[in-house]
Structure 1
Amino acid sequence: MAKKKTISLLLTAGLVLSVNGVSAQEPSQAPNAQSATAFDNKVIKKISADNMYDTIAKLSAQPRAAGTEGELIGAQYIKSQFEQYGYETELQPFPFYEALRNNVSGTLEVNGKPLNPYVMSGSYSGEVTAEVVYVGLAYADKVPEAVKGKIALIERGDITFVEKIKNVLDKGALGVIMYNNSGTTNRFGSANPGQNIPAVAITRAQGLDLVEQLKAGSLTATIKVEGSGFIEKTSYNVIAKMKPNKNKDTGQVVMVGAHHDSVPGGPGANDDASGVSAVLELARVMAKTQIDTELRFVTFGAEEKGLLGSSYYASTFSEEEADRIVAHFQMDMIGSRDAGGDHPAGGLIMYTIDGKKNLVTDLGSAAGARTAAAETIPMGQLGRSDHEPFHLLGIPAALFIHSPLEPWYHTPADTIDKIDKNKLQETAEIVGASVYQIARPDTPALKNARVAPGLVDYEFENRSPGA
């Protein structure tokens, strides 16, 4: 893993950029916001919400679920646009595994009594009969050796389903019965490819009853799962790069991303054709702009499957490459007229993984105050999007999104008629001005900035997306 960067940006009496704690200029030398705006206009005046709207129309004409023809059509269109703008472009395929849910069946009997279980998503298909051993929450250091050759009874909670299954599988368990930690449902749970033991879920009441029965004596269970497992599919990342002239190259990289896949059956106009539209528009605008930093625009596949595309792309970085990337700007769901509630700036917020300010949020909030939004953009804490894998590499990263989310999030009603062009424009301007602040030759290697935004003070908000 790449070491955590020490690049910082202090917004006091103007912008003071520093690297490894060494300031590039004194606060008193920082120019005013008007100078910064003049330079911003080289980028933001060229941004067209109409272009973005047209992109959303093209991408949302059909669903783009990962691994489908619709996703590939969308990815190829994005690639063609990047190429048209003059970028070095790559369509990066990667495999992923999708759980089979059609024609899946499962049974569970304990001491001859049927319990009508739910088959965990992706469970291995097979039949096993063995004694039951209670292993609690199945922490790796708490699973007893006695589970070897037995069926593990596990309580849901604290760690993920796949971790629990791995921990008992590592100790030689032959099957899994997992009971809920609240409520009355048994519909939960998932396994990973390669976890080749049948795994089923039961209700909390059923699980607690089995725990009590085990206190009185042994139990023997039979688990039978049919039709379950995984199918391998292919998704894609689209990567576009533009390097500066060698004589001006700082060796640094700034990244802008969005995910192009949608949920199955959904047109995904806002989620996330809107983000992709801004990525493409900023790539178009910046294609002919003077830069001293490599621009890297990426749209990710299989975000809806668990950030798979961004995680795959981040996994390809060497430590040296990760250290060259000074910022990652992620845009997800930036165009819905019905998102954001009554919050200022249409509800736009910047989420970081750890809830701490970084270079991206500093630049983003300052840009918001001097662009079309005319608002200081707040920050919050949230994962659930493609900024996470880059944060884990030590790269300053943030998610730009309107929060709380719209009522038709992840439904077939996420259509283009609900897109607000003003929100598209404002978000693209904020991200574009922020990226340009890093990439323009006036700020080589984030040092010696002579054009800077003015003073801003932005707050942390404990705001949930609500979905």
Structure 2
Amino acid sequence: MAPSLLALCAAVAGASAIQIPFFSQAPLDVANEPKLLVDSAALQDLISGDRLLARAKKLYEVAKLGEHEYNHPTRVIGSAGHAGTLSYIYESILELGDYYDISNQSFPAVSGQVFEYKLVLGDTVSKSAAPMGLTPATKGKEPVYGDLVFVQNEGCSASDFPDSVAGNIAFIKRGTCPFGTKSEHAGQKGAVAAIVYNYETDPVQGTLGTPSPNHVATFGLSGEEPSPILEQFSKNHSVDAIAYIDAEVSEIQTANIIAQTSAGDPANCVMLGAHSDSVAEGPGINDDGSGTISLLEVATQLTKFAVNNCVRFAWWAGEEEGLLGSDYYVDSLSPAENRRIRLFMDYDMMASPNFAYQIYNATNAANPLGSEQVRDLYIAWYEAAGLNYTFIPFDGRSDYDGFIRAGIPGGGIATGAEGIKSKDEAAMFGGEAGEWYDPCYHQLCDDVGNLNETAWIVNTKLIAHSVATYARSFKGFPERITRVAATASVYEEETKYHGNKLFI
């Protein structure tokens, strides 16, 4: 085992000295003989469904390392399953010889786990209530009792909270400021818990973000449940509640893995990434094992070619906890290193079983110059292949977010998560209208059987095309420019997500 890999395992496994098995395959011939310049068609031809599936089976075995602590396979950060994932990625790149310079970037991450919860509104147990990500537990990890206290405006200012919230449960409308801000204000005014209710029927799968000592146990509430409560308030009637959350928020060490070609112009880097972690609830073989494996396979086959521009692959940790790894990476870049990245492409969930071929609708009007060119590259490839595609919002749901905020052009593709496939999309892509794109999204059943091989092969070929195109040349692609404040503000105003959960 290489010394750097030993350090990586120590960082992610901690003092418990978890023994991580390694999953070797025969090293490829990556000798330094002259290679032809990378060609998109030739690189795509090397993508094999059998190889992708074989890697998926290995990754599921890695996820089983999490069974001891979680009683089921998982690759959540801090688990043995995630430590094993990092080891598998690292060793896979090491086997490719000196084609890549590989490094790991260890960083502190916040991990949250909810063990049990219940919310009773009046005499009814809530069906839609869900704890916010990174919520603390209720006091003593016991139920707390109180009246619901209506909070004026959206709880974005401490003055919105009446003194009567002390010892009671704050009832706060979802709005324009972070959920963490609302929870913090509630705690500062002495609330024993907080509920953020949605003005829409959609679920509030939110996160409080960076922990604060003033955060209180916080639920999201959606559907029709807020309406009768608001009606009672309008009649000056009180509503009592019982809130209970058993949760744990802790700081751990985890790591990003970065592999950059040793050849190619280092001042003009093609960068692409996928996240290495899953949620605690399951093994995450589609989310985002599929993207992780697609990048590994493209990185493996790229070693058979020469490149003009450097190619930088990244596997981010902590995406499911709120884009922690990619944010940490981008924030650590010097201005000069930032400018070396010509673009970033995000590949999260490539093989959803009820898939649609989705392209992030990144425009130059709302994002750094060059984002639209990345989007158009995907469009042209799908059209040339005779495949349908659809656009999805470029709204901060995945690891491109930090890059866009830092002025780096970005884009990406996906196949869908918990969204509902429409009738038109079923006609375009097949599958079941009215069902989630991935019925096993963030669940235990996100295993090897949850992968659509057809979609996975198609999208891995498209990833290969994106790498080959920009590894050859940036001809016609906009030069990097200093971020324009107005452009950044347009993106930030439209961004409601930070990772898979809402943060406002």
* Residue equivalent to 1:453: none
Higher relative contact order (Cα pairs below 8 Å, separated by 6+ residues):
1
1:392 to 405, 414, 436: 405
Query: Do the aligned partners of 1:95 and 1:235 also contact (CA within 8 Å) in 2?
Result: yes
- State the 1:374 CA deviation: 4.0
Aligned residue pairs: how many? 390
Task: Work out whether 1:95 is the aligned partner of 2:95.
Answer: no
1:241 to 260, 267, 274: 260
Rg bigger for which structure? 1
Hey, what's the Cα distance between the residues in 1 that align with 2:325 and 2:377? 26
Q: Which runs of 5+ in 1 are unaligned?
A: 1-36, 341-346, 449-466
Change (3 A) 1:422 1:158: same
Change (3 A) 1:212 1:119: farther
* Residue equivalent to 1:74: 85
Task: Work out whether 1:136 is the aligned partner of 2:147.
Answer: no
* Residue equivalent to 2:335: 319
Task: Work out whether 1:428 is the aligned partner of 2:460.
Answer: yes
* Residue equivalent to 2:173: 156
Task: Work out whether 1:296 is the aligned partner of 2:312.
Answer: yes
Hey, what's the Cα distance between the residues in 2 that align with 1:185 and 1:56? 32
Deviation per CA, 1:81-108, whole angstroms, max 9, x where unpaired? 1122232212323333333533678999
Hey, what's the Cα distance between the residues in 1 that align with 2:38 and 2:309? 20
Residue pairs, 1:238-277, within 5 angstroms: 238-245=257-264, 249=265, 251-277=267-293
- State the 1:182 CA deviation: 5.9
Secondary structure at 1:74 match in 2: helix
Task: Work out whether 1:412 is the aligned partner of 2:444.
Answer: yes
Amino acid in structure 2 at the alignment position of 1:231 = S
- State the 1:380 CA deviation: 3.0
- State the 1:164 CA deviation: 1.3
Query: Do the aligned partners of 2:362 and 2:372 also contact (CA within 8 Å) in 1?
Result: no
Hey, what's the Cα distance between the residues in 2 that align with 1:262 and 1:353? 26
Secondary structure at 1:432 match in 2: helix
Hey, what's the Cα distance between the residues in 2 that align with 1:41 and 1:120? 47
Hey, what's the Cα distance between the residues in 2 that align with 1:399 and 1:187? 25
Change (3 A) 1:361 1:300: same
Hey, what's the Cα distance between the residues in 2 that align with 1:185 and 1:292? 47
- State the 1:74 CA deviation: 0.9
Amino acid in structure 1 at the alignment position of 2:83 = L
* Residue equivalent to 2:392: 380
Amino acid in structure 2 at the alignment position of 1:196 = N
Deviation per CA, 1:320-364, whole angstroms, max 9, x where unpaired? 32222122222222124x322xxxxxx312114668861221222
* Residue equivalent to 1:45: 45
- State the 1:80 CA deviation: 0.8
- State the 1:283 CA deviation: 0.8
Query: Do the aligned partners of 1:130 and 1:150 also contact (CA within 8 Å) in 2?
Result: no
Residue pairs, 1:110-129, within 5 angstroms: 121=132, 122-123=135-136, 125-126=138-139
- State the 1:199 CA deviation: 4.0
State the percentage of identical aligned residues.
23
Normalising to structure 2: TM-score of the pair?
A: 0.64
2:303 to 283, 287, 291: 287
- State the 1:189 CA deviation: 6.8
* Residue equivalent to 2:357: 348
Hey, what's the Cα distance between the residues in 2 that align with 1:66 and 1:76? 13
Query: Do the aligned partners of 1:119 and 1:199 also contact (CA within 8 Å) in 2?
Result: no
Secondary structure at 2:274 match in 1: strand
Query: Do the aligned partners of 1:133 and 1:150 also contact (CA within 8 Å) in 2?
Result: no
Query: Do the aligned partners of 2:148 and 2:171 also contact (CA within 8 Å) in 1?
Result: no
Task: Work out whether 1:231 is the aligned partner of 2:250.
Answer: yes
